[in-house]
Amino acid sequence: MSEIFPELRIPSPRCRTCQRVPEDSGYLWVAAENHMTPDEYVIQMDATYVSRTHTYLCDEDYLEAEVPQDHWAIKALRSLDAHEGGE
Ligand SMILES: [Zn+2]
């Protein structure tokens, strides 16, 4: 009765570059060490996570992104907005 939306849960965050979810981009071990799921770890612990777009940068893409992070994040947000039609 109290479970109005039993299936309601936060979808996995996606890497802004490769679109992988944390589980597929090497967060399993570090998340397990912190007693979290990969999703929880990225949302709570990863500095690249952006709550507004629910995206993050996986380690691979973080290391490859040599442009300043702020500039890069803004670019990524703009392309996301264009993709999702605003909001
Ligand atoms: Zn990535």
* Spatial separation of the C-alpha atoms in residues 77 and 57, rounded to whole Å: 12
Q: Quick check: 21 and 39 in contact, CB under 8 A?
A: yes
The string of pLDDT tens digits covering residues 21-49 is: 999 998 999 999 999 999 999 999 999 99
Token readout for 27 is 């967060």
Distance 6 CA to ligand 1 centre (A): 30
What pTM was estimated for this model as a whole? 0.64
Q: Which helix H or strand E contains 54, and what residues bound it?
A: none
In which band, very low, low, confident or very high, does the pLDDT at 86 lie, cut at 50, 70 and 90? very low
Cβ neighbour number for residue 42 with a 10 Å cutoff:
28
Quickly state the pLDDT bin for 59 (edges 50, 70, 90): confident
For residue 52, the CA-to-ligand 1 centroid distance in Å is 18
